[in-house]
């Protein structure tokens, strides 16, 4: 079990009151984030992020963002379906900046249909992130997975829905090029990126969702 999962969940559930010390600015999806390495939405001009807010819709089943990670040993990311921050059954994926898979998760090991990624992966393939630098983070609906550039083979293989997986699929050694799987109705989402102060999590989500709705 990843120790970071439960503090994140508890900070949402309890709604800790206080003035948060924000670790970074929010990123609101601009128009439509891309779906590939080359079309990923570049967030690096905003620095290290605490939250990414956006939406998926039918025919737009994947959002990919280029992000900066400074604390590669403390990195974690989650979507909070049970807290209303994300409106669909999500999956989260992390790749290096060239599209090679690092981490993937369907359902948070702590429970619910939100997603949670952090190293080490349960299969031992990704013991830690390579180092500080640029990475790609992607969100999809359940069942929509990254596959090889010929569209035939998956990069990840989940032994269970709650596994935090390394790139153990048939194409685990290749960069992703396509997505495979049906997309549903979609909805709004918020991705929380750690390390960030736990006491400010609920505030960050509320602010990100409110700004997203005002833009909609």
Task: Check which CATH number belongs to the domain holding 207 and give it.
Answer: 2.60.120.380
As a whole number, mean pLDDT of residues 130-153 equals: 95
Total domain count, the chain:
1
| Tokens standing for residue 103 | 């981490």
More confident position, 123 or 186: 123
| Confidence (pLDDT) at 21 | 38
Q: Is residue 79 assigned to a domain? A: yes
| Tokens standing for residue 47 | 């620095």
As a whole number, mean pLDDT of residues 172-182 equals: 93
Q: What is the residue range of 128's domain?
A: 24-215
Confidence of residue 200 (pLDDT cuts 50, 70, 90): very low
Phi-psi region of 176 (alpha: psi -120 to 50; beta: other; left: phi over 0): beta
Confidence of residue 6 (pLDDT cuts 50, 70, 90): very low
Q: Is residue 101 assigned to a domain? A: yes
Is residue 103 a contact partner of residue 166, using CB atoms and an 8 Å limit? yes
pTM score, whole prediction? 0.82
Of 88, 85, 98, 114, the closest CA to residue 5 belongs to 114
Q: Is residue 7 assigned to a domain? A: no
d(CA 155, CA 148): 7
Q: Is residue 186 assigned to a domain? A: yes
| 93 pLDDT higher than 90 | yes
Is residue 169 a contact partner of residue 157, using CB atoms and an 8 Å limit? yes
Is residue 69 a contact partner of residue 45, using CB atoms and an 8 Å limit? no
| Confidence (pLDDT) at 151 | 84
Which residues is 154 bridged to in the sheet? 147
Element (H, E) at 209: helix 201-215
More confident position, 83 or 107: 107
Torsion of Cα atoms, 84 then 87 then 89 then 93, to 10°: -90
Q: Is 202 helix (H, G, I), strand (E, B) or coil?
A: helix
| Tokens standing for residue 4 | 């970071």
Q: How many residues does the chain have?
A: 216
Of 34, 64, 38, 31, the closest CA to residue 136 belongs to 64
- Go through 25-53 and write b for each residue having 16 or more CB atoms within 10 A of its CB, e for each that does not: ebbbbeeebbbbbeebbebeeeebbbbbb
Q: Is residue 167 assigned to a domain? A: yes
Q: Is residue 12 assigned to a domain? A: no
Q: Is residue 103 assigned to a domain? A: yes
Task: Give the model confidence (pLDDT) of 24-75 as tens digits.
Answer: 348 999 888 999 999 999 999 998 999 999 999 888 899 999 999 999 999 9
| Tokens standing for residue 54 | 């956006």
d(CA 68, CA 59): 28
As a whole number, mean pLDDT of residues 140-167 equals: 95
Q: Is residue 15 assigned to a domain? A: no
More confident position, 80 or 143: 143
Is residue 85 a contact partner of residue 209, using CB atoms and an 8 Å limit? yes
| Confidence (pLDDT) at 82 | 60
């Amino acid at each position: 079990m990843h120790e970071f999962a439960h503090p994140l969940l508890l900070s949402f559930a309890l709604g800790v009151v206080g003035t948060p010390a924000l670790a970074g600015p929010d990123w609101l999806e601009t128009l439509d984030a891309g779906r590939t390495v080359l079309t990923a939405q570049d967030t690096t001009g905003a620095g290290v992020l605490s939250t990414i807010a956006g939406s998926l819709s039918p025919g737009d089943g994947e959002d990919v963002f280029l992000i900066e990670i400074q604390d590669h040993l403390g990195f974690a990311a989650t979507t909070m379906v049970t807290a209303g921050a994300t409106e669909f059954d999500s999956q989260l994926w992390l790749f290096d900046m060239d599209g090679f898979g690092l981490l993937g998760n369907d359902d948070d090991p702590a429970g619910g249909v939100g997603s949670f990624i952090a190293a080490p992966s349960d299969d031992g393939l990704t013991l830690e992130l390579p180092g500080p630098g640029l990475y790609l983070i992607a969100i999809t609906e359940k069942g929509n997975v990254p596959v090889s550039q010929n569209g035939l083979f998956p990069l990840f293989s989940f032994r269970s829905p709650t596994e935090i997986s390394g790139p153990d699929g048939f194409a685990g050694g290749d960069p992703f090029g396509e997505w495979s799987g049906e997309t549903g109705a979609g909805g709004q989402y918020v991705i929380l990126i750690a390390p960030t102060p736990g006491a400010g999590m609920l505030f960050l989500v509320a602010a990100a969702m409110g700004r997203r709705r005002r833009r909609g």
